[in-house]
Structure 1
Amino acid sequence: MPGPHDHGGGRPRRDPRSGQPTLRDVAERAGVSAMTASRVLRDDPQVLPATRERVRAAAAALGYRPNEVARSLRLGRGTGLVGLVVTNLANPFYSRLALGVDSVVARHGLKTVIGNTGQDPGAERELVADLLARRVDGIIAVPAGADQRHLAAAAADGVPVVLASRPPEGFAADCVLVDDFGGAHAATARLLARGHRRIGFLGSPPAVYTGTERLRGYAAALASAGLAADPGLVRQGQTEPEEATRAAAGLLALPDPPTALFCSNNRNTIGAFRALRAAEGGAAVALAGFDDFELADALGLALTLVAYDSDEVGRAAGRLLADRLHAGGGVGAPGEPRQIVVPTSLVEYGA
């Protein structure tokens, strides 16, 4: 026969939304009111020790876990969630960035919620609105474009916002950048030093800040060598290796093809490598790119890559956000907005 504090068969009812035992289940099992059970779980010292022990035993037996989000909101605190908005989760750079963010914010008792925009500004606006509706404590974003009014509005409302890989436009915010210009300049200069004068460029869409800065670094290196960038050797808009393979093949098929290629990110480098492998005489074309990546040393091809610590991009963004949270707010919190630039270096693979 069921005991006085059991539901039929000793099984508790479940919250239909979460599937978990409810506070009322705990109260009924312990033989107390829901208010008393709540006081015990809030560590109210006024509750009698025997009652406290009974409620805690009931909670343990049922596997009850309090809804910390709802509790934090009732107490006027945040949800303990940080929103991370990225443009392309298929790119390993963003998974490393996410790991860097999480490694820092977790030490502050925060959890990371990741959203992917697919480089779509409209999807980004909707994602940011959803994160704000969920009362995240702060947002770290890799913006898809120059229109950042939705991020500016969040910061104006007191939600700390940190940008990664792209500086803020139209408002003040902390940001973490990579030395995109310097890295691209150094890699292109390395190709020039090896005697190449026709160097093709494969890059992401023009709206992507990093790709634009890397194109600028490529052009500046050519200019330093007394060469003008040839628009006929520039291909932009590739976000996936398959697109880059087609773009590289098009450059290699020109009547006067480039003798070297510089790629603005790892997705373009991988696509270019496939095109070189497939092309007759492609192995003679030098290849350089931005972003180191796994197995780069196993391609069997001479390869110059711009390397940097992508985890550090995330860690730095996490530290900036944590500082803002501890300071008590967004851009209006004490201290001017800060910018951190992660340095780059060149690595060489193959013969």
Structure 2
Amino acid sequence: MHHDADDTTAAATTTRPTLRDVAVLARVSPKTASRVVNGEPGVSPAKVSAVQRAVAQLKYRPNFTASTLRRANGRTAAIGAVLEDVANPFSSALHRALEDVARERNVMIFAGSVDEDPLRERALVQAFTSRQADALVVVPASADQAYLGQEIAAGTPVVFVDRPPVGVRADAVLADNRAGAAAAVHHLVAHGHRDIAFLGDLGTIATAQQRLQGYKEALSDHGIRPDPDHIAHDLHTEDSARQATLRLAAGPKPPTAYFTAQNLVTIGAIRALRELDHHHRVALVGFDDFPLADLLQPAVTVVAQDPFMMGRLAAELVFRRLDGERWEPTVHVVPTRLIPRGSGETPGPHASRP
């Protein structure tokens, strides 16, 4: 069948225009066209106008489908976020903060949960890097992130959040875990408690280790030697924390107060104390705030991190590096804040009497 030239041209114009088509029509390079389309600075007004006219003439729309979300430079207009567990309040707040900053740049956040599994961490990183993510924000689960060295050397910005990197030099945004844990213990001691239990997350996690260290240092400041039987590690679920609390409460010398070093651990401990009807006479301070903590009876005293601030700071560091800024990898420490609400103010046996 014969097609004349007009038929061929008409058929061609029905296909979706590409960024390269825009560049050709505007008589600029694909890189310049990409910078204009993505709102990046540094392009002359004349070239910006030419690209915008070409975009309008061709009715060009960036193809932001999951499989072809890609810039002219091969990058994806997306950041990969490797989080602990997107269902956890801390991770979800962190995710939302990243998303808020990225949205201002028309960049997507692709997130996945590692569930404290080093193999899953590497699989997620591999999935994001193989899809040419612009950058990575990582809450690490593995003991060594040296496998990211090549990606960092190639120019991919990587920011670690909540836990410091091991084996690579990269920016990190961390909470002041030791100081926050110490503040919790000082608070409980000030309210008359000396038998203070520690309920912690997995002992392999850097933040759990730092919170245990802060707990021990604060007790030492008051001349208190921690009871080894009152320290429970590797509580990574609500139920494991609940069981540990029930076990300690049934011991020969039950603690009069608890420092629970992670929000799911806190919830598990609260469940146990309520089962035993001890929640009005045993004190508790939790590390990490969580939804409805202020509505329980008693309301839960917490050492609050600021995951929104941590997420925004991590995103800002990523975009500064994407914009071409260079500096030596830096650790940024975000302070915690003790919020007294009631559970941490339950008086202990050594409380001063009026």
TM, length-normalised to structure 1: 0.81
What pairs with 1:99-114 in structure 2 (closer than 5 Å)?
Answer: 99-114=96-111
What pairs with 1:284-299 in structure 2 (closer than 5 Å)?
Answer: 284-299=281-296
Q: Quote how far apart the aligned CAs of 1:146 are.
A: 2.1
Separation in 2, partners of 1:169, 1:292? 27
- Unmatched segments (≥5 aa) in structure 1: 5-26, 329-333
What pairs with 1:61-80 in structure 2 (closer than 5 Å)?
Answer: 66=63, 70=68, 72=70, 75-80=72-77
Separation in 2, partners of 1:263, 1:71? 43
Separation in 1, partners of 2:332, 2:73? 32
RMSD over equivalenced CA pairs, Å: 2.8
Separation in 2, partners of 1:258, 1:187? 15
Alignment partner of 1:193 is 2:190: yes
Match of 1:252 in 2: 249
Q: Quote how far apart the aligned CAs of 1:90 are.
A: 2.2
What pairs with 1:1-351 in structure 2 (closer than 5 Å)?
Answer: 30-32=10-12, 37-38=17-18, 44-45=25-26, 56=59, 66=63, 70=68, 72=70, 75-301=72-298, 303-327=300-324, 334-350=326-342
CA contact under 8 A between 2:200 and 2:232: conserved in structure 1?
yes
Amino acid aligned to 1:113: F
Separation in 1, partners of 2:280, 2:142? 36
Q: Quote how far apart the aligned CAs of 1:55 are.
A: 6.0
Separation in 2, partners of 1:278, 1:36? 63
Call closer, same or farther: CA 1:286–1:146 in 2, change over 3 Å: same
Amino acid aligned to 2:302: L
Q: Quote how far apart the aligned CAs of 1:66 are.
A: 3.4
Call closer, same or farther: CA 1:155–1:112 in 2, change over 3 Å: same
Identity across the alignment (%): 37
Amino acid aligned to 2:340: E
Separation in 1, partners of 2:69, 2:86? 32
Separation in 1, partners of 2:56, 2:206? 58
Q: Quote how far apart the aligned CAs of 1:205 are.
A: 0.2
- Unmatched segments (≥5 aa) in structure 2: 28-53, 346-354
Separation in 2, partners of 1:72, 1:152? 24
Separation in 2, partners of 1:150, 1:281? 48
Give per-residue Cα distances to partners, 1:124-159, cap 9 Å, x unaligned.
111111111000011000001321122333212321
Amino acid aligned to 2:337: S
CA contact under 8 A between 2:185 and 2:219: conserved in structure 1?
yes
Give per-residue Cα distances to partners, 1:17-39, cap 9 Å, x unaligned.
xxxxxxxxxx9894436789556
